[in-house]
């Protein structure tokens, strides 16, 4: 039997998918911004001469990176209210969970970027009288951030795909909306095909921009070395 494709129902249900895509985009932006901020703090902790700060950063990074993102999401949604006595909404739980998840991975990007700065740069900053904080602020981070940009771009794409985890706690992002439509219309193939096309339409230009940026930064780096 040949399957009869029919996308006609999406003509009037398409706006629901677009609303789901909007919610996905909001979650993506919030989790990315918060994750980058958390990652910067933890990345600096991981690079700190202080053993206590390195321990804090290491415990955080290894704990998050070695547990599934779905488990973290479910724990935040179900366990946190028990501990705090405050019920969290699916939006809040997804935002917190994905921010922490992203923070752990970006922390390693920050740590690697900081470690890539030549020892001479640190010594020059120290010779100017800068302490560790000012060395990091004025000399190391500005140079390291440029080297981190391509890795941040790749992490952003991974985060966009990870937002689909929020469908498990009934947050109305794209995948959850698609699941609802597919069950109502009994057309899962067409619905999830539309989801695939929407994700591709959003992420393909981002991926292309990252590749172009990597090439541009690579050319600048080679010119500086020459």
Write out pLDDT tens, residues 109-160: 999 999 999 988 888 888 888 888 888 888 898 888 888 988 999 999 999 9
Structure tokens at 23: 């919610």
Question: Per the structure, how many domains does the chain have?
Answer: 1
Asked if the structure places residue 2 within a domain, the reply is no
Does 104 reside within a domain? yes
- 103 domain-assigned: yes
The reply to whether 5 falls in a domain is no
Does a structural domain hold residue 61? Answer: yes
> Which CATH number belongs to the domain containing residue 180 in this structure?
1.10.3720.10
Q: How far apart are the first and last CA of the chain?
A: 65
Contact of 208 with 183, CB cutoff 8 Å: no
Residues of the domain holding 173:
13-225
Q: Are 103 and 39 in contact (CB under 8 A)?
A: yes
In a domain, 142, yes or no: yes
Q: 3-class SS at 9?
A: coil
The runs of H, that is alpha helices, within the chain are: 10-47, 51-65, 69-74, 80-84, 90-115, 119-127, 132-134, 141-162, 174-185, 188-225
What pLDDT is attached to residue 219?
Answer: 64
Summarize pLDDT for 151-205 with one digit per residue, the tens: 999 999 999 999 999 999 999 999 999 999 999 999 999 999 999 999 999 999 9
Confidence bin at 86 (pLDDT 50/70/90): confident
Q: Which of 68, 40, 45 is nearest to 58 (CA)?
A: 45
Residue 225's pLDDT is 47
Task: With respect to residue 139, please indicate whether it lies within any of the assigned structural domains.
Answer: yes
pLDDT band per the 50, 70, 90 thresholds, residue 223: very low
For residue 3, being part of any structural domain is answered with no
């Amino acid at each position: 039997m040949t399957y009869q494709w029919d996308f006609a129902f999406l003509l009037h249900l398409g706006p629901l998918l677009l609303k789901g895509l909007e919610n996905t985009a909001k979650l993506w932006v919030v989790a990315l911004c918060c994750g980058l901020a958390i990652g910067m703090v933890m990345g600096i902790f991981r690079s700190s001469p202080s053993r206590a700060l390195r321990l804090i950063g290491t415990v955080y990074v290894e704990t998050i990176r070695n547990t599934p993102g779905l488990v973290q999401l479910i724990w935040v949604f179900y366990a946190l209210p028990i501990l705090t006595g405050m019920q969290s909404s699916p939006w809040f739980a997804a935002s917190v969970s994905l921010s922490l998840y992203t923070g752990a991975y970006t922390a390693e990007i920050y740590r690697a970027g900081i470690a890539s700065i030549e020892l001479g740069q640190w010594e020059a900053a120290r010779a100017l009288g800068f302490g560790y904080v000012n060395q990091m602020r004025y000399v190391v981070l500005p140079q390291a951030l440029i080297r981190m940009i391509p890795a941040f771009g790749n992490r952003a794409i991974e985060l966009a795909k990870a937002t689909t985890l929020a469908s498990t706690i009934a947050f109305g992002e794209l995948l959850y909306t698609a699941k609802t439509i597919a069950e109502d219309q009994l057309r899962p193939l067409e619905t999830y095909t539309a989801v695939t096309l929407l994700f591709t339409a959003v992420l393909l230009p981002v991926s292309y921009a990252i590749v172009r940026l990597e090439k541009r930064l690579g050319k600048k780096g080679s010119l500086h070395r020459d």
